[in-house]
Amino acid sequence: MARFSYDEVDNYGGSGSGNFLSIPNDGDVAKVRFMYNGLDDIEGFAVHQVEVDGKRKYVNCLREYGKPIDDCPLCKSGSFVNAKLFIPIYDIESGQTKIWERGKKFFGKIAGLCSRYASKDALVSHIFEIERHGKKGDTQTTYEVYECGADDTIMEDLPEAPVILGKTVLDKSKEELQYYVDYGEFPGEESNSERPARRSTSSDDMPVRRRTPRNNEDTF
């Protein structure tokens, strides 16, 4: 399973279900707690994006960095890989736990926050404001994160953190991924009892995404 820590982030270049944090407009601000104690809690995911029932979803990549491409049927099929962070967030205004989806480049920023604020106490004890800079749809949008104070809050004081693997990121076996490559859907999703026709393996017919990444996306 292609998950990686901060020390491994440089090995990876640079939607599923879940309650995602949305900061939709230029200048909007969200007041949050990052649901991490420190740097060791931060985990990235190497994912493919696939289409299921007309919706784009993330699925785990089975290939560890440097391993043969045959380890993951989606890699072998030509589907590119995104390096993603799915950061568990406690949204103070709504009182809900959410997921903030970020690319590989944000790993350095969250690591910096841990270095500055989690050296003496847990990062979750600090309140942050996230401010959006960029209009809706602007691929150059950035986010600034400002620390707004700390208290004695610990992880146990908050609702359970969102589950990433198996919900936000589909957790599929090699056999299930190969089935998807062959038939364009996962086993058990057929609309009738008959197995669907095997798909062509040409690039025009593949259901996995193959476009060239934008500048703000991280692939490997």
pLDDT in tens, 142-197: 999 999 999 999 999 999 999 999 999 999 999 999 999 999 999 987 554 456 66
- Stated length of the chain: 220
Check residue 218 and give its pLDDT: 46
Whole-structure pTM value: 0.77
Residue of 140 and 211 predicted with greater confidence: 140
pLDDT digits (tens, 9 = 90+) for 51-90: 998 899 999 999 998 999 999 999 999 999 999 999 999 9
Token representation of residue 167: 């919900």
Token representation of residue 73: 């049927």
CA angle 55, 104, 79 (to 5 degrees): 45
pLDDT at 208 over 70: no
pLDDT at 100 over 60: yes
115 CB burial (10 A radius; 0-12, 13-18, 19+): exposed
pLDDT at 214 over 60: no
pLDDT classification of 98: cutoffs 50, 70, 90 = very high
Check residue 211 and give its pLDDT: 45
The candidate with the shortest Cα–Cα distance to 159, out of 35, 36, 44, is: 35
Check residue 210 and give its pLDDT: 45
In a domain, 149, yes or no: yes
In a domain, 210, yes or no: no
Least confident of 11-25, 99-113, 132-146: 11-25
The candidate with the shortest Cα–Cα distance to 46, out of 99, 107, 125, is: 107
In a domain, 133, yes or no: yes
In a domain, 72, yes or no: yes
Check residue 217 and give its pLDDT: 47
- Cα radius of gyration (the chain): 19
The amino acid at 167: K
In a domain, 101, yes or no: yes
The candidate with the shortest Cα–Cα distance to 61, out of 170, 143, 152, 163, is: 170
Q: What is the domain count for the chain?
A: 1
Q: Domain containing 35 — which CATH number?
A: 3.90.198
Check residue 194 and give its pLDDT: 59
Check residue 188 and give its pLDDT: 85
In a domain, 213, yes or no: no
Residue of 155 and 213 predicted with greater confidence: 155
The candidate with the shortest Cα–Cα distance to 181, out of 214, 206, 145, 155, is: 206
Tell me the C-alpha to C-alpha distance, in Å, between residue 146 and each of 97, 116, 132, 139, 171: 19, 12, 12, 22, 34
116 CB burial (10 A radius; 0-12, 13-18, 19+): exposed
Q: Which domain holds residue 67?
A: 3-183
> How many CB atoms within 10 Å of residue 119?
10
In a domain, 108, yes or no: yes
pLDDT digits (tens, 9 = 90+) for 29-61: 999 999 999 999 999 999 999 999 889 999 999
pLDDT at 12 over 90: no
In a domain, 119, yes or no: yes
